[in-house]
Amino acid sequence: MRLSSTFLSLSTAITAVLAAPSVNKRAACSSAVTIAQSENPFSGRTLHANAKYREEVETAVAAITDSSLKAKAAKVADVGSFLWLDTISTIPSFEGYLNQTSCEEIFGVVIYDLPGRDCAAKASNGELATGQLSTYKTQYIDPIVSIIKANPNIAIAAVIEPDSLPNLVTNSNLTTCQSAASEYREGVAYALKQLNLPNVAMYIDAGHGGWLGWNDNLTPGATELANAYKNAGSPSSVHGVASNVAGWNAWIKNPGEFENTPDGQYNKAQDESRYVQYFGAALSSAGMPNHFIIDTGRNAVQGLRLEWGDWCNVKGAGFGVRPTETTGNSLADAFVWVKPGGESDGTSDSSATRYDSFCGKDDAYKPSPEAGTWNQAYFEELIKNAVPSF
Ligand code: BGC
């Protein structure tokens, strides 16, 4: 009796150890990480599943009653994704998330707080107004840099300021983008310069094929990004660009979703793999590194959008390919999940200050909460429509 109960508790203990979350079993690197510019930072490193998204997903799982959907939803918590530092107030929590990263992983972070943010839309207007560039530098970028410097043993991939430079290329007719332009340019260059650290790999946001991929936008787009890179002193931590962030484009689709429309002839980059090819060539001509990471977080289902530029909570979307370095394209370093699926792109409440009419279109999911906040129903749709399925 006594023997068997000892055996029982021993076996329970062994099971408990084996069942412990993988994050506890794997150790951090024991020495400083150096990512060479010639190296694919994702090679041999898995994108870390950060605890912020894990917590959001676990809360969502608890609210699901259907057992099959619940089991699938639980698996999303283990998928690596990027942590968005979208306000100064998120910075104190950054280090706690960061230092859970093991040596076989890379931590993904999004730098997203430029003055006059989201100048061509309303849903993600930020906390800093134009004119507050010094606040951006000293209270946003500098503290992030200090945290990263204090954690040299952790590999980090950083996506730099989604939508900002692409908006300067295609939305320069808007007064909001005109007044934000000089601070976008100086702010991005400052971020690139300060984040130029051995353990960091940076990718500047380049919109997607349906944006800077238009034949007439390729060279101006590449020039705009390359200027920021050069103004930062051509930092060796810059590996290239991020595409399709929070986007819906397929990696490969022939013909592309909008290829056979009258305008299709003016855009060679009809899917993200063709965007890598054409924008990658333009970047190289403009004199900047041209590797890509591509957000596949929500691009499983095609044919949902009324127009290529529809960006808000597209109805019927599904989780796409899980983060991987296996892309089959030597310029594509990785497929990654940048936008945390389930977090809204913008509110559908037309009376809200940050209401953008794109979030009220027929192809946008309603109701949807403010940008960045959780939409349980939308999360459940992403699981049901996921390809590959969970
Ligand atoms: C929002 C941010 C949020 C990010 C990720 C953006 O659209 O403006 O607040 O952190 O999405 O969900």
Q: Is the minimum distance from the CB of 371 to ligand 1 under 6 angstroms?
A: yes
Q: How far, in Å, from the CA of 84 to the mean position of ligand 1?
A: 7
Q: Has residue 78 got a pLDDT over 80?
A: yes
Out of 82, 112, 122, 358, mutate this one to test ligand 1's pocket (max ligand atoms within 8 Å of CB): namely: 112
pLDDT tens-place string over residues 123-171: 999 999 999 999 999 999 999 999 999 999 999 999 999 999 999 999 9
Active-site residue, 163 included: yes
Residues found in the chain: 390
Within-domain flag for 352? no
Give the Cα separation of 266 and 253 in Å (integer): 17
Within-domain flag for 201? yes
The proportion of the chain whose per-residue pLDDT surpasses 90, expressed as a percent, equals 93
Domain count, the chain: 1
- Res 26: pLDDT: 75
Within-domain flag for 355? no
The answer for residues whose C-beta is within 8 angstroms of residue 195's C-beta and 6 or more apart is: 111, 141, 144, 145, 148, 158, 160, 202, 235, 237
User: Considering only CA atoms, which residue is closest to atom 11 of ligand 1?
Assistant: 372
Q: Is the minimum distance from the CB of 124 to ligand 1 under 6 angstroms?
A: yes
Q: Which of these is catalytic: 295, 310, 333, 345?
A: 345
Q: How far, in Å, from the CA of 368 to the mean position of ligand 1?
A: 13
CA dihedral 292, 286, 111, 347 (to 10 degrees): -80
Backbone angles phi, psi at 354, to 5 degrees: -95, 20
Residue 366 marked ligand-binding: no
In the chain, what are the helix, strand and coil shares in percent, each to the nearest 5? 40, 10, 50
Within-domain flag for 216? yes
Tell me what the mean pLDDT of segment 93-102 comes to: 97
Q: How far, in Å, from the CA of 6 to the mean position of ligand 1?
A: 52
Give the Cα separation of 138 and 13 in Å (integer): 49
Backbone angles phi, psi at 324, to 5 degrees: -160, 150
Within-domain flag for 360? no
What are the angstrom distances between the C-alpha of 96 and each of 113, 148, 151, 340?
A: 20, 12, 11, 19
Active-site residue, 118 included: yes
- The candidate with the shortest Cα–Cα distance to 85, out of 76, 98, 103, is 98
Residue 78 marked ligand-binding: no
Q: How far, in Å, from the CA of 23 to the mean position of ligand 1?
A: 26
Contact 95, 154 (CB under 8 A): no
Give the Cα separation of 114 and 86 in Å (integer): 9
Q: pLDDT tier at 32 (50, 70, 90 boundaries)? A: very high
Tell me what the mean pLDDT of segment 27-39 comes to: 96
Residue 84 marked ligand-binding: yes
Residue that has been written with the tokens 């290239």 in this structure: 240
Within-domain flag for 358? no
Within-domain flag for 368? no
Q: Has residue 23 got a pLDDT over 50?
A: no
Q: Is the minimum distance from the CB of 372 to ligand 1 under 6 angstroms?
A: yes
Give the Cα separation of 69 and 64 in Å (integer): 7
**Residue 170 domain boundaries:** 5-345+374-384
Q: Has residue 4 got a pLDDT over 90?
A: no
Out of 89, 97, 119, 124, mutate this one to test ligand 1's pocket (max ligand atoms within 8 Å of CB): namely: 124
Q: pLDDT tier at 372 (50, 70, 90 boundaries)? A: very high
Q: How far, in Å, from the CA of 2 to the mean position of ligand 1?
A: 57
Mean pLDDT, the chain, whole residue set? 94
Q: Has residue 12 got a pLDDT over 80?
A: no
Residue 119 token pair: 């100048």
Residue 339 marked ligand-binding: yes
Residue 211 marked ligand-binding: yes
pLDDT tens-place string over residues 46-75: 999 999 999 999 999 999 999 999 999 999
User: Considering only CA atoms, which residue is closest to atom 5 of ligand 1?
Assistant: 372
Residue 248 marked ligand-binding: no
- Res 6: pLDDT: 37
Residue 181: CATH number of its domain = 3.20.20.40
Count of beta carbons in the 10 Å neighbourhood of residue 216: 11
Tell me what the mean pLDDT of segment 111-118 comes to: 98
Q: How far, in Å, from the CA of 383 to the mean position of ligand 1?
A: 20
The atom of ligand 1 lying closest to the CA of 345 is: 7
- Res 154: pLDDT: 98
Within-domain flag for 271? yes
Strand 105-111 relative to strand 46-47, pairing: parallel
The proportion of the chain whose per-residue pLDDT surpasses 70, expressed as a percent, equals 94
Active-site residue, 205 included: no
pLDDT tens-place string over residues 220-271: 999 999 999 999 999 999 999 999 999 999 999 999 999 999 999 999 999 9
